[in-house]
A and B are shown apart, each in its own frame.
Chain A
Amino acid sequence: MSINSQFQITLIGTPNTGKTSLFNCLTGEQQIVGNWDGVTVSLAKSSFSYLGHKIIVNDLPGCYSLIASNQMTLEEKLVCEYLNELRSEIFINVINLENLTRDLYLTLQLLEQNYNLLIAININNNDISLAANLAIKLRELLGCQVVCCNAATGFGIDKLKLAILDQTNFSDFKTYRHYIPAQIIEVINRYIDSNSNNNSKTKISVGILIRYLEGDVLAKQLLHHHQNINLFFIDNCMVEQSWDVFFASQRHEFIKKYFINSIKNDAKNNTNNNKILKNKLLDVLDTIVLHKYLGLPIFFGVIYGLFFLITKIINLTQYYFSVALEFAVIKSITKLFIICDIPNWLITIFNDGVAIGIITLFNFIPALLVMYISLFLLENSGYIARAVVLIDKIMGFLGLSGKSLVPMIIGFGCNVPAILGTRVIEQKRDKIITVLMTPFMSCNARLAVYSVFATAFFKSEQGNIIFYLYLIGVLSAILTGFLLQKILSGSRCNLIMSLPIYRMPALNVILTRSIGRVKKFLIHAGFSVMGMCTGIAILKNLNWAHYNLIGCTWFKYFMAIFKPMGIAADNWQAVASLFSGLVAKEAIIGSLNSFYRVDGNEIYGVLYAKFGSLEAAFAYLLFILLCFPCVSVIASIAKELNTKWAVFSAVWTTSIAYIVAVVYYQIATFNKHPQYSIRLLLVIISIILLVFIGIKIIIKTNKTQKANTIAIALEL
């Protein structure tokens, strides 16, 4: 290899083997690592220099098998597409002792494809002597360089870098001859020889033929002009099972015979009592955590504990944060403005707009931080994988898998981290459904609004009312889930996962990562929240006295929209406050405060007078519960899905909010105006029917499009 050359290497392996950790180790980057499938969702790229060479490293998401199929996850599709284009010269196959069978299976597939492979055994907490023995065997039988390293500590990284540079002289070791019967190899070679004169772009190799026989859709596409492959093989060699089972059996027999059994023997000879005890204890832990009767109660206990902790911390810090910030920052900046002779209107805008924006954003910090830290703790320890298994069946009723529950639980604290947390869900359909269900989970901000109203209107039944509101939120979420799973094509993703070994989470890493996530969020949401707050401040401070608002016709029409919900025509403050809910739902209380112009303690009396009845107040609460989420949530949806879904979510939630509030109010006050109520309810029922018909049409067109899904899948 000449000095100052530059070349590419790619990390490839099954999920969770430590590829990304190794990537970070080699390049010094801070890519996100997780104890969870699907953490690396896109291609990461970086580089490092060593002995005068520049080496570009690509980090791929994990994949289990090289055989491309229609139902593959998005990440694995990415891997297959990447491999087909072969942009990298050298591949580092990262394997782990924890799941050796699965890891070596992929290794054998990679070798069949004739890739320039270097094996890196990522040791982690395991025995280095075990790894060293395995390395010797791998070198001998597979003919590749094998390096033992530990991505967590950096051990062996220099050796790895040297090995990368040595990976030039590569020859086709034809490892498959160890486990594929000679007759079959002979037939394969015969086919290649007899067809090599075809004017085809694709050069047929042993690897592609094996993949074709196993049913790889990409291989089928590449070799589609060879129509006689199957016949040729049927004529010349018969196997009892189908080809994919046959090749899999051969590979596993080889792996078991030469590697697994000897590892087991080595382990038996080397074990010390501590390790045996530790393994036994962890097994007992799993028996308890996944216990038939104890499992679910423990899970709910953990969730409740998390919820409780977050609420407590929010209560404690939110007050101090706002008050401290308000006094310190805003007053002093205002003073500075006054000193600098900045015009009054600008100062007011700052006070009412930008300042509130800052406070709102910063109010999120304790919630987000605690949320992320708790989530990372649960995830890194390995508990979340068990939780997924526990509630998988229940989630099945909604067409979702266990993974979808976690974001929704988090949503009860704050929707923003909940939605950002859906990135662990690989299947796009499941992710969309989960993200769209999350805004219906009442966040803490809404709880603040509920408690004020509950105190004003429902003194004795406070707790019940709040519980009903939460319940209605969950029911609406379930309804949304049901409808979406019918509209969005696709079936529930399969469940096949391994439970990671319980680990002690590294607290400093978790802290760094959480702070990083919070920073990213603040930057992203910063612009939107600031803009909204400033806009509202400007609007609020325009001199409305010039316009006789209440007499204005368009204003009358606008208020008429809210009349079916029970908001009286002169209660414009309630409607205006709804819009401040865009900024943050707890801002609704603040706006009502400032609109009615009362001190915090006396608002209850004014509320009762303005709304007029219990039913009107409850309808208003229903609307707040369900309507468009605050702008930070909309921004998160746009980030995790796309803008189209964010808009849909806002429209969908507001429509549901309106319908539920109106239906409730009309039914509750039916006797006061029966005819009006009936007419209104009929209109709403017909709208709902139209929507259902629309949904059914969408479902029908989806079914006829199934034939096209294969083509779409191939386009990757």
Chain B
Amino acid sequence: MSNQSIFNLSVGEFGLIEGLVPGENQYYRQRLLAEGVVPGEVLKIKRIAPFGDPIEVSLSGGNCFVIRRTEANIIKIRKVSDLEK
């Protein structure tokens, strides 16, 4: 199981979430978890702002949100090519 970060994904690509890297920022972790960033979820990069940050992502549940790539590093994610919705 490779440990890639969200930087490796480009627009339109899917990633399988494997977990969250433990860290100091409990609040950000809770926010991500509340949105649905849990292991087993599939995340799609919807669009990227100019200069590469922030990015808009969508989860398979349908909810979309905007996060900074630099902060989203704590998401352990693995790129997956074609996936059924």
Q: Is B54's CB under 8 angstroms from A65's CB?
A: no
Min Cβ gap A608→B in Å is: 47
Q: Is B54's CB under 8 angstroms from A389's CB?
A: yes
Q: Given A290-B49, A389-B66, A494-B28, do A102 and B34 touch, yes or no (CB 8 Å)? A: yes
Q: Is A393's CB under 8 angstroms from B51's CB?
A: yes
Q: Is B65's CB under 8 angstroms from A497's CB?
A: yes
- Chain B 44-85: CB-based contact to A (< 8 A → 1; otherwise 0): 000111111110100101111111100100000000000000
A625 within 8 A of B: no
A499 within 8 A of B: yes
- Chain A 97-108: CB-based contact to B (< 8 A → 1; otherwise 0): 001111001100
- Can you report 13 residue pairs joining A to B where beta carbons are below 8 Å apart? A64-B34, A100-B62, A100-B63, A102-B35, A102-B36, A249-B39, A293-B50, A390-B49, A392-B53, A393-B49, A494-B68, A496-B32, A498-B63
Q: Is A496's CB under 8 angstroms from B35's CB?
A: yes
B40 within 8 A of A: yes
Q: Given A290-B56, A389-B49, A390-B50, do A70 and B27 touch, yes or no (CB 8 Å)? A: yes
Partner of A498, one of B32, B48, B64, B71: B64
- Taking CB atoms, residues of chain B closer than 8 Å to A494 are 25, 27-28, 31, 68, 71
Name B's A-contacting residues (CB within 8 A). Answer: 19-20, 22, 25-36, 38-41, 47-54, 56, 59, 61-68, 71
Partner of A392, one of B32, B40, B68: B68
Min Cβ gap A409→B in Å is: 18
Q: Is A71's CB under 8 angstroms from B50's CB?
A: no
A644 within 8 A of B: no
Min Cβ gap B69→A in Å is: 10
- Taking CB atoms, residues of chain A closer than 8 Å to B59 are 101
Max count, chain A CB within 10 A of own CB: residue among B30, B52, B67 = B30
* A100-B32 Cα distance, complex, nearest whole Å: 15
Which one, A240-248, A336-344, A582-590, is touching chain B? A240-248
Q: Is A105's CB under 8 angstroms from B62's CB?
A: no
* A106-B33 Cα distance, complex, nearest whole Å: 11
Partner of A245, one of B33, B61, B66: B33
A292 within 8 A of B: yes
* A105-B30 Cα distance, complex, nearest whole Å: 11
* A392-B68 Cα distance, complex, nearest whole Å: 9
* A527-B77 Cα distance, complex, nearest whole Å: 59
* A18-B22 Cα distance, complex, nearest whole Å: 34
Beta-carbon nearest neighbor of B52 in chain A: A393
Partner of A70, one of B26, B36, B38, B64: B26
- Taking CB atoms, residues of chain A closer than 8 Å to B56 are 290, 389, 499
Q: Is A65's CB under 8 angstroms from B61's CB?
A: no
Q: Is A106's CB under 8 angstroms from B34's CB?
A: yes
A69 within 8 A of B: yes
Interface of A is mostly: helix
A137 within 8 A of B: no
Min Cβ gap A244→B in Å is: 6
A190 within 8 A of B: no
Q: Given A101-B35, A105-B34, A295-B49, do A495 and B66 touch, yes or no (CB 8 Å)? A: yes
Interface of B is mostly: mixed
Q: Is A69's CB under 8 angstroms from B26's CB?
A: yes
- Known: A249-B38, A292-B50; 4 extra A-B contacts, CB below 8 A, are A264-B62, A293-B50, A393-B49, A396-B53
Q: Is A69's CB under 8 angstroms from B30's CB?
A: yes
Q: Is A499's CB under 8 angstroms from B66's CB?
A: yes
Min Cβ gap B8→A in Å is: 19
Q: Is B63's CB under 8 angstroms from A102's CB?
A: yes
- Taking CB atoms, residues of chain A closer than 8 Å to B41 are 252
Min Cβ gap A131→B in Å is: 16
- Taking CB atoms, residues of chain A closer than 8 Å to B36 are 101-102, 105, 252
Q: Is A101's CB under 8 angstroms from B26's CB?
A: no
* A156-B80 Cα distance, complex, nearest whole Å: 45
Q: Is A498's CB under 8 angstroms from B65's CB?
A: yes
* A101-B33 Cα distance, complex, nearest whole Å: 11
Min Cβ gap B27→A in Å is: 4
- Chain A 78-104: CB-based contact to B (< 8 A → 1; otherwise 0): 000000000000000000000111100
Q: Given A241-B19, A295-B50, do A496 and B28 touch, yes or no (CB 8 Å)? A: yes
Q: Is B38's CB under 8 angstroms from A101's CB?
A: no
Beta-carbon nearest neighbor of B60 in chain A: A256
Partner of B67, one of A105, A292, A496: A496
A215 within 8 A of B: yes
Q: Is A244's CB under 8 angstroms from B71's CB?
A: no
* A255-B41 Cα distance, complex, nearest whole Å: 13
Partner of B27, one of A72, A264, A296: A72
A287 within 8 A of B: yes
* A172-B22 Cα distance, complex, nearest whole Å: 34
Min Cβ gap B63→A in Å is: 5
Q: Is B33's CB under 8 angstroms from A65's CB?
A: yes
- Taking CB atoms, residues of chain A closer than 8 Å to B62 are 100-101, 260, 264
- Which parts of A31-69 form the interface with B (CB within 8 Å)? 64-65, 67, 69
Min Cβ gap B42→A in Å is: 12
- Which parts of A216-235 form the interface with B (CB within 8 Å)? 217
- Taking CB atoms, residues of chain B closer than 8 Å to A496 are 28, 31-32, 35, 65-67, 71
* A296-B50 Cα distance, complex, nearest whole Å: 8
Q: Given A241-B39, A393-B51, do A99 and B63 touch, yes or no (CB 8 Å)? A: yes
* A446-B44 Cα distance, complex, nearest whole Å: 49
* A72-B34 Cα distance, complex, nearest whole Å: 14
* A248-B37 Cα distance, complex, nearest whole Å: 9
- Taking CB atoms, residues of chain B closer than 8 Å to A498 are 63-66
Min Cβ gap A18→B in Å is: 17
- Chain A 232-271: CB-based contact to B (< 8 A → 1; otherwise 0): 0000000001101100110010011000100010000000
Q: Is A101's CB under 8 angstroms from B19's CB?
A: no
- Taking CB atoms, residues of chain B closer than 8 Å to A286 are 47
* A292-B51 Cα distance, complex, nearest whole Å: 8
Q: Is B26's CB under 8 angstroms from A71's CB?
A: yes
- Taking CB atoms, residues of chain B closer than 8 Å to A293 are 50
Q: Is B63's CB under 8 angstroms from A495's CB?
A: no
- Taking CB atoms, residues of chain B closer than 8 Å to A99 are 63
Max count, chain A CB within 10 A of own CB: residue among B51, B52, B59, B67 = B51
Q: Is B67's CB under 8 angstroms from A101's CB?
A: no
- Which parts of A496-540 form the interface with B (CB within 8 Å)? 496-499
* A495-B31 Cα distance, complex, nearest whole Å: 10
Beta-carbon nearest neighbor of A109 in chain B: B34
Q: Is B71's CB under 8 angstroms from A245's CB?
A: no
- Taking CB atoms, residues of chain A closer than 8 Å to B26 are 67, 69-71, 215, 217
Min Cβ gap B49→A in Å is: 5
Beta-carbon nearest neighbor of B72 in chain A: A496
Q: Is B64's CB under 8 angstroms from A499's CB?
A: yes
- Taking CB atoms, residues of chain A closer than 8 Å to B48 are 292
* A498-B64 Cα distance, complex, nearest whole Å: 6
Min Cβ gap A63→B in Å is: 10
Q: Is B67's CB under 8 angstroms from A495's CB?
A: yes
- Taking CB atoms, residues of chain A closer than 8 Å to B47 are 286-287, 290
Q: Is B39's CB under 8 angstroms from A71's CB?
A: no
Min Cβ gap B37→A in Å is: 8
